[in-house]
Structure 1
Amino acid sequence: MNNIFRRFYLILFAGIFQLFSSQSASNGLSDGTLKINTTEKLPVKIFATQSSNKFYNESSSNVPNELIILNEDNIKAESAEHLASIQNILETFKTNKFQFLDKNFKPLEPVFEQKNIENFKYLLKSDKVLKPTDNTELETQFKIWDPMKGIPLGPVMLHFYSLMFIFAFGLGYVIMAKIFKIDGVEEKFLEPLFTWTLVGTILGARLGHVIFYQPELFKEDFFSVFLPISTKGGLHFTGFSGLASHGATIALIFTTLYYSFKIIKKNPFWVYDRIGIVVALGGAFVRMGNFFNSEIIGKPVDPSSPFAILFPQQSSEYGVTIPRYPSQLFEAVGYFCLFVLLWFLYRKTDKKYQQGWLFGLFFIILWAVRFFVEFLKEPQGDEFIQFAGLNTGQVLSIPFMIAGFLIMIYSKKFKLPKEETATA
């Protein structure tokens, strides 16, 4: 048994050392190899960006064997004026002898009507001219995460981020129904809990993001704070692209207080203990949604690192598009492990009778995961709250962790007799 633990700690230490020692900077070009017909290998420099200016400048960079990975911002027009701009940029690439390729590296005619532009996936500048009959693959030391952002459903797109929210609340509802059954609570109290949790999460998360990271939206685009739209450059649907877990937590504390005192009429800590279980699982799904959206990404990492991932669709606000840590997945795994731990403690121990104990533990671990992963993450928006080298997310996490310790200490005063909680 001791040998097993020793190996576990060695693996853990090696992983942590790899995380913090493999960071490196880059000029925006990554190394890869085009494998053509299994026999020929063409070394290439890989480039991607969402910045229109950087994209345009790259057309005249004269980098030998350069492969550009296109993203939605490069080819998807939001207006006639935007389409004209995209066409002008692509025309420059054509003039500079770039080959236009589809997602399978098959050559396409450089015809710049919107229906054709959307088929472009790669631009290649090389003396080697790819033919339709060539079987071409891109090989890299790192992984490339460049998925579709959703499932096309006729004229609309069901974004994976929205789908992850649906999974989070759907599974949360099922698990909370099971918890209510175990505790002998009437099912009629489940619907209002779900409603208040949904409203608190979305509204609090949105307001939290704007207040902590984008306060300028209150002046520049007020309606986008409360609605999934933008009025900049005309009215268009955007979805909520910024949600903050700290804001969601604060809002949930207050909505759960109302639910506890006015609806179910139980000690709020009884509710917090149970809602923390499903929130931990929901947090994992939300971070998976961030992963699909190529947002909340990590800092640059050495391409040889097993954690290195290139996000061609990442926002230009994060800087150059190079291999980075998948910090969304680190958080998702941490939150899922927290869910498993809380569910085990709830089902297999007496801690659910000590009102507040599970909730305090939830606060400590959840915000500790957030605190430590922040060391590997790029800043989100303007980091206007900073202290002792810590960023906004870390500074905001500290009070929640302290609160968790205090709640666990004071939970001894709120013990329930076992007969007051049914078992099933």
Structure 2
Amino acid sequence: MSNIFFRMYLVIFALITQCLFAQNYPDGMSEGTLKINSTSVPVKIYSTTELGDLNVFPDRKVDGNVLIILNESNFEPAFFSFGAMTLDKLKQAKYQLLDKNFRLIESPATKENIETFKYAVKSNKPIASADQVSLETPFKIWDPSKGIVLGPITLHFYSLMFIFAFGFGYVLMTKIFKIDNVNQKYLEPLFTWTLVGTILGARLGHVIFYQPELFKEDFWSVFLPISTKNGFHFTGFSGLASHGATIALIFTTLYYSFKIIKKNPFWVYDRLGIVVALGGAFVRMGNFFNSEIIGKPADPNSPFALLFPQQSSEYGVTVPRYPSQLFEAFGYVCLFVLLWILYRKTDKKYQQGWLFGLFFIILWAIRFFVEFLKEPQGDEFIQFGGLNTGQVLSIPFMIAGVVIMIISKKFKITQAENEKPE
């Protein structure tokens, strides 16, 4: 067992060390090799989700060959004219335009075909239509589609991960209620209050901790998936904070415990923590599909290095980065497995609050350490001792977890009391 913990410490130490010596990309570009038939052409790789930045890039002096990864966000229908003009500007600057399979596109951009433009290449070896072209990089490129297209509707992967989180959570809690001999009629209100607390708390938490200016600049976007700034348009909720969700869940679960199921709140928290750990992993996977909450720049030769062409410009230049979402998701899966084993194989579920306290300590410790590898999420309004907002907010939760585990001795119940029918 000690060897396992020693290896875990080594992994954490390695991650933090790599963070402290994070790779620097002075020109904001990474490097790769364009294979044109049997010829290797070294290229600098550039990408941005901002059409304005893409438009001025041809004016920038760059030594050597360049490959630009284009994005769907560069060619939104509302800005078709500007997008088409940008492609023309790239052509005039001697860039060749290619589709996702690196096939040359020589036709002009239209509203019907503009989304087929995927790469722009400027090299000392022009590409012919019959050439076999591919891109090789020491890092992986994460450039997924937005979701599953179902006719006129696109089911976004981020939304799908939320559905999985609550769907699997519902199934898991159903099993837990059966194990504890709890009437299933209490499951629906728990699901409802958990859903309301998670969404509302996460949204308010993000705005309060990271974007408080929205209360003045775009008030309705705080509570609704719309924006009234610069005209009315549907945006979806683009910012959710786990700290806010946790605080809201604490209060909604208190109401549920006292007014509905009439059990000790720690009894509910113990079981809800198991579900939330798994749900958190799905949410971070959704962030991964959305190329958000990304990590700091990584060494391109690192096994963890990923390029996120769809990343927001608020994170800085598009260069290989740590997939911090996956690190966090993996940690949450491990936490879920641990809590489930303790719940099923030990009597800790009868010590009300013990599992919840452990959940708080480990979950927020995972968040605390992964934050070393993350880029800042919006404006960092809370900073202390070199720690960012997410880390500072995690510390009280970890302390609370320790306190809860200590006082849980006062709330022990017997197996008979736990499984006593209604």
Length-normalised TM-score, structure 2: 0.95
Over residues 303-337 of structure 1, what are the superposed CA-to-partner deviations in whole Å (9 max), with x where a residue is unaligned?
11111111000000011111111000010000110
Residue in 2 that maps onto 1:40 = 39
Equivalent of 1:341, from 338, 345, 368?
A: 338
Distance 2:372 2:94 in 1: 42
Query: Could you say if the C-alpha distance between residues 91 and 242 of structure 1 is closer, same or farther in structure 2, counting changes exceeding 3 Å?
Result: same
Aligned CA distance change for structure 1 residues 6 and 299 (closer, same or farther; 3 Å): closer
Shift of 1:87: 2.2
Cα drift, residue 20 of structure 1: 3.4
Please say if 1:246 is aligned against 2:239: no
1:240-389 → structure 2 map (5 Å cutoff): 240-389=237-386
Return the alpha-carbon distance in structure 2 between the equivalents of residues 281 and 19 of structure 1: 28
Q: Please state whether the residue corresponding to 2:116 is helix, strand or coil.
A: coil
1:422: Cα distance to partner?
A: 3.5
Cα distance in 2 for residues equivalent to 1:219 and 1:106: 48
**Contact 1:214–1:381 (CA<8 Å) still a contact in 2?**
yes
Deviates more, 1:153-162 or 1:401-410: 153-162
Counterpart Cα distance in 2 of 1:377 and 1:13: 14
Question: Any conservation in 2 of the 1:338–1:362 contact (CA below 8 Å)?
Answer: yes
Aligned residues: 418
Corresponding letter in the other structure for 1:30: S
Change (3 A) 1:219 1:166: same
**Out of 195, 200, 207, which is 1:210 matched to?**
207
Whether 1:196 aligns to 2:184 is: no
Of stretches 254-263 and 151-160 in structure 1, the one that deviates more from structure 2 is 151-160
TM superposition shift of 1:103: 0.2
Residue by residue, what CA displacement relative to the aligned partner does 1:142-188 show, whole Å, maximum 9, x if unpaired?
Answer: 11100001111222211100000000000000000000000000010
Would the aligned equivalents of 1:106 and 1:131 in 2 still touch at CA under 8 Å? no
Output the CA distance in 1 between the equivalents of 2:255 and 2:20.
Answer: 47
2:409 pairs with one of 407, 412, 415 = 412
* 8 Å contact from structure 1 (residues 18, 305) kept in 2: no
Q: In the alignment, is the contact (CA less than 8 A) between 2:253 and 2:265 conserved in 1?
A: yes
Task: Give the whole-Å Cα distance in 1 for the aligned partners of 2:414 and 2:262.
Answer: 17
Q: Deviations over 1:9-35 (max 9, x none)?
A: 686377446633551111211110112
Deviation track 1:204-258 (CA, whole Å, cap 9, x = no partner) reads 1011101111111111111211111222332222211100000000000000001
8 Å contact from structure 1 (residues 22, 302) kept in 2: no
* Residue in 2 that maps onto 1:25: 24
| Residue number in structure 2 paired with 1:54 | 53
Is 1:22–1:305's contact at 8 Å kept on the other side of the alignment?
no
Please show how residues 163-202 of structure 1 align to structure 2 within 5 Å.
163-202=160-199
Match of 2:65 in 1: 65
Q: Distance in 2 between matches of 1:294 and 1:411?
A: 40
Match of 2:388 among 387, 391, 395: 391
Matches of 1:8 and 1:372 in 2, distance apart? 16
Cα displacement string for residues 22-80 of structure 1 (whole angstroms, at most 9, x for unaligned residues): 5111121111011223x221111100112333212211224331000011221223x2x
Please say which of residues 356-365 and 88-97 is displaced more in the overlay: 88-97
Worse-matched range after superposition: 153-162 or 17-26: 17-26
Distance, in Å, in 1 between the alignment partners of 2:199 and 2:12 is 37
**CA–CA distance in structure 1, aligned partners of residues 260 and 283 of structure 2:** 28
Q: CA deviation at 1:118?
A: 0.7
Alignment of 1:116-135 (within 5 A): 116-135=113-132
Q: Deviations over 1:265-289 (max 9, x none)?
A: 0000000000000000000000000
Q: Distance in 1 between matches of 2:22 and 2:219?
A: 38
Deviation at 1:133, TM superposition (A): 2.5
Residue 94 of structure 1 contacts residue 110 of structure 1 at CA under 8 Å; is this kept in 2?
Answer: no
Gaps of 5+ in 1: none
The one-letter code matched in structure 1 to 2:51 is S
Give the superposed CA RMSD.
1.8
Structure 1 stretch displaced more, 146-155 or 287-296: 146-155
Give distance in 1, aligned partners of 2:416 and 2:323: 46
User: Counterparts of 2:388 and 2:210 in 1: how far apart (Å)?
Assistant: 11
Identity over the aligned pairs, expressed in percent? 70
- CA–CA distance in structure 2, aligned partners of residues 74 and 314 of structure 1: 12
Give the distance between the partners of 2:376 and 2:311, measured in 1 at CA.
Answer: 13
**In structure 2, how many angstroms separate the alpha carbons of the residues matched to 1:353 and 1:232?**
52
Q: 1:14 to 1:200 in 2, by over 3 A?
A: closer
- Compared with structure 1, are the counterparts of its residues 9 and 291 closer, same or farther at alpha carbon in structure 2 (3 Å cutoff)? closer
Instruction: Say whether residues 1:99 and 2:88 are aligned partners.
Output: no
Q: Contact 2:19/2:296 (CA < 8 Å) preserved in 1?
A: no
Q: Is 2:69–2:120's contact at 8 Å kept on the other side of the alignment? A: yes
**Deviation (angstroms), 1:408:** 0.4
Give SS of 1:33's match. Answer: strand
Give 1:357 deviation, angstroms: 0.3
Deviation per residue, 1:70-101 (Å, 9 max, x gap): 11221223x2xx22222222221121111110
